[in-house]
Amino acid sequence: MVDFLYNKIAKPILFKIDPEVAHGMIFSGLKISSKLDIIKKLISYIYSNSSEPVLVNGIKFKNCLGFAAGFDKNAEIYDVIESFGFGFMEIGSVTLNPQQGNPKPRIFRIVDEYGIVNHMGLNNCGAIKVRKNIDKKGKPSITMGINIAKDNKCDFINAHKNISECFKILKDVGDFFVINISCPNVNSYAGNLSDYVHKIINSLREIDSEEPLFIKISPDIADNEVFDITLLCERYNCGIVATNTTKRRDIIKRRDFDKIEGGLSGKPLKNLSVNKLQKIRDTSKKVPIISSGGIFDSMDVSERKNLGADLFEIYTSFIYEGPSVVKKILNQGALKKS
């Protein structure tokens, strides 16, 4: 019944509306729901699953499937999101100072290929406001990661300082932190990427040597960069989120998207994400990996689990398949703790 309501009624209506407007409508509805315990309990009942907890990098996760960053940028509705059955989630990306993001329109659907191009540009209300939101709501019952990035106007030379200040504000309210060095909608780093990452990790470790950290990488970086960053993460006991969205357009059939800026997510990203997962695991057997990008069903998760991923994140499949995708993935026996 829930699948029918989403796929036959809600989705056709929402997909006729501008994607960012549709997102805003859904977000507003969930924000209202966050104030009503009876609604949250009903959602939890509908989307309950048979998943089991997992332990990764010293952190206990309710289950292996998480909600990727980008939906709840400002920590406003995470108490509702956990009701859909996720084992963990990321909020953000959060920057030190508020960011307007890029001009609209900045989200585009590729419906026939189950893809989305977003050119958001890290729009968020800034670390201080996000901290206030979390302090007001309290931490969720599931594991919560905080995805942080540098301010758009901050140069790369001072990025480690900018990110560190953001981290200081939020470090007491997150269970783990994801450092987003791979947003396709801001200027890319032109120098040695591993040196840049090293500088950031070192700066954060000086603040807190034990806080669980993950580095979120782009699917577009070279294999030698994956190799160097993986070894760096192993050295500093960090994990990797693989991957963010891609700037590539040769992996989709639609040529009218060639000149549309932004990061491509969804099914077209699958092979790129899997490739980076393999490169990371071939380099290190120790580095914790959160696999993200093109995950739509339990077979996708099983494939990546067999390749060495520890945890998994979805976003675009949640939009295309509806909230029940979480339950469908987690109820498959192959994903249960052995």
The 10s digit of each residue's pLDDT in 36-75 is: 999 999 999 999 988 899 999 999 999 999 999 999 999 9
Measured CA to CA, the distance from residue 328 to residue 330 in angstroms comes to 6
Measured CA to CA, the distance from residue 233 to residue 38 in angstroms comes to 43
Architecture of domain 2-335 in this structure = Alpha-Beta Barrel (3.20)
Please compute the mean of the pLDDT values over residues 216-242 and round it to a whole number. 97
The pLDDT assigned to 188 comes to 66
Burial of 7 (0-12, 13-18, 19+ CB in 10 A): middle
**Higher pLDDT among residues 335 and 248, named by residue:** 248
The pLDDT assigned to 86 comes to 98
The pLDDT assigned to 2 comes to 72
The pLDDT assigned to 50 comes to 84
Please compute the mean of the pLDDT values over residues 136-152 and round it to a whole number. 97
- pLDDT band at residue 3 using 50, 70 and 90 as cut-offs: confident
The pLDDT assigned to 309 comes to 99
In the predicted model, is pLDDT for residue 240 greater than 60?
yes
- Which string of b and e fits 63-86 if b means at least 16 CB within 10 Å? bbbbbbbbbbbbbbbbbbbbbbbb
Distances (CA, A) of 81 to 29, 71, 76, 170, 314: 12, 10, 10, 20, 13
* Per-domain residue ranges of the chain: 2-335
In the predicted model, is pLDDT for residue 166 greater than 80?
yes
Q: Is 225 helix (H, G, I), strand (E, B) or coil?
A: helix
The pLDDT assigned to 338 comes to 43
Q: Is 193 helix (H, G, I), strand (E, B) or coil?
A: helix
Name the CA radius of gyration of the chain, rounded: 19
Q: Is 263 helix (H, G, I), strand (E, B) or coil?
A: strand
With contact defined as beta carbons under 8 Å apart, do 53 and 88 qualify? no
Please compute the mean of the pLDDT values over residues 143-156 and round it to a whole number. 97
Please compute the mean of the pLDDT values over residues 122-139 and round it to a whole number. 98
Measured CA to CA, the distance from residue 325 to residue 84 in angstroms comes to 9
pTM of the model: 0.95
In this structure, the chain runs to a length of 338
Contacts of 87 (CB under 8 A, 6+ apart): 51, 53, 54, 61, 62, 63, 64, 65, 66, 142, 143, 311
In the predicted model, is pLDDT for residue 186 greater than 70?
no
- pLDDT band at residue 83 using 50, 70 and 90 as cut-offs: very high
